């Protein structure tokens, strides 16, 4: 009986230590919502960084350190003069939101499909990007729900945009559209379409949200 008691006690202590170890790994909401905007500060505790905003910083050689940010959920590289997308980004398997707006790259590499958890992508103000040639890459993102293509000089949506099968929100403000794109019929899960500041003057037989411009809820 004494041996059984000792074994039972040891087992209980083991489970307690295991649970405490697990609990210690669960981040609190303050840490998750904390946004780091200084590269050197973030690099000191990469495993604790969930939001990293490097917009307008033009940091050189930062990409080699990106894989250290294993828990990163939000990354902004807006207006960082990127002529190409660093391949190290595709190792960030927990990434939910990626902001690549206002850069000068032309193509999205096929490795983009490795971002299996990406839900929201900013490609606005990327005038060098030919969206029609990159839809196939975006279509391989299984969880992409929100796509920003504002001010990209778009005159017409590509037919293959229907490959974005999970898309729910599409932002096309400040483009060169003259009509509501018929191609959106292929987006079966689309809930919201922003066409603000285009050259569309026709009446649309759908629910239009309040406010300036054309913003459609389905």
| Within-domain flag for 13 | no
Q: Please state which of the ranges 22-31, 84-93, 127-136 shows the lowest mean pLDDT.
A: 22-31
Q: pLDDT digit string (tens) for 44-84?
A: 999 999 999 999 987 777 889 999 999 999 999 999 999 99
pTM: 0.83
Name which residue leads in pLDDT, 92 or 215.
Answer: 92
For the cut 60, the answer to whether the pLDDT of residue 120 exceeds it is yes
Per-residue b or e along 156-182, where b marks 16 or more CB atoms closer than 10 Å to that residue's CB:
ebbeebbbbeebbebbbbbbebeebbe
Q: Binning pLDDT at 50, 70 and 90, where does residue 205 land?
A: low
| Within-domain flag for 130 | yes
Q: pLDDT digit string (tens) for 171-200?
A: 999 999 999 999 999 999 999 999 999 988
Q: What is the pLDDT of residue 61?
A: 77
Q: What is the pLDDT of residue 218?
A: 73
Domain of 61, CATH number, reads 3.80.10.10
| Within-domain flag for 64 | yes
Q: Binning pLDDT at 50, 70 and 90, where does residue 213 land?
A: low
Gap between the Cα atoms of 160 and 34, Å rounded: 38
Q: Which two tokens stand for residue 143?
A: 């969880």
For the cut 60, the answer to whether the pLDDT of residue 12 exceeds it is no
Q: What is the mean pLDDT of the chain?
A: 86
Q: What is the pLDDT of residue 22?
A: 45
Give me the number of domains the chain comprises: 1
Q: What is the pLDDT of residue 187?
A: 96
Gap between the Cα atoms of 94 and 149, Å rounded: 23
| Within-domain flag for 3 | no
Sign of the alpha-carbon torsion through 57, 99, 91, 40 = positive
| Within-domain flag for 211 | no
Residue 196, burial from CB neighbour count under 10 angstroms (0-12, 13-18, 19+): middle
Nearest to 126 by CA among 153, 152, 107: 152
| Within-domain flag for 12 | no
Q: Binning pLDDT at 50, 70 and 90, where does residue 121 land?
A: very high
Q: What is the pLDDT of residue 2?
A: 45
Q: What is the pLDDT of residue 114?
A: 95
Please give the residue range of the domain that contains residue 69.
Answer: 28-204
| Within-domain flag for 9 | no
| Within-domain flag for 69 | yes
Q: Binning pLDDT at 50, 70 and 90, where does residue 150 land?
A: very high
**Measured in Å, how far apart are the chain's first and last C-alpha atoms?**
69
CB 58 within 8 A of CB 82: no
> With pLDDT > 90 as the criterion, what percentage of the chain qualifies?
69
């Amino acid at each position: 009986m004494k041996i059984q008691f000792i074994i039972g006690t040891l087992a209980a202590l083991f489970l307690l230590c295991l649970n405490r170890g697990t609990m210690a790994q669960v981040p609190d909401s303050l840490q998750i919502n904390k946004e780091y905007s200084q590269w050197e500060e973030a690099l000191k505790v990469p495993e604790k960084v969930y939001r990293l905003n490097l917009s307008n910083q033009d940091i050189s050689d930062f990409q080699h350190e990106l894989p250290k940010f294993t828990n990163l959920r939000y990354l902004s590289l807006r207006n960082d003069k990127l002529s190409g997308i660093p391949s190290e980004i595709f190792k960030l398997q927990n990434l939910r939101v990626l902001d690549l707006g206002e850069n000068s790259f032309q193509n999205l590499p096929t490795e983009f499909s490795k971002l299996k958890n990406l839900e929201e992508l900013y490609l606005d103000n990327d005038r060098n990007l030919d969206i029609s040639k990159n839809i196939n890459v975006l279509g391989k993102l299984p969880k992409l729900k929100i796509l920003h293509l504002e001010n990209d000089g778009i005159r017409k949506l590509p037919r293959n945009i229907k490959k974005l099968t999970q898309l729910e929100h599409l932002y096309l403000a400040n483009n060169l559209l003259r009509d509501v794109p018929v191609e959106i019929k292929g987006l079966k899960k689309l809930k919201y379409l922003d066409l603000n500041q285009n050259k569309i003057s026709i009446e649309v037989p759908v629910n239009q949200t309040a406010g300036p411009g054309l913003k459609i809820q389905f």
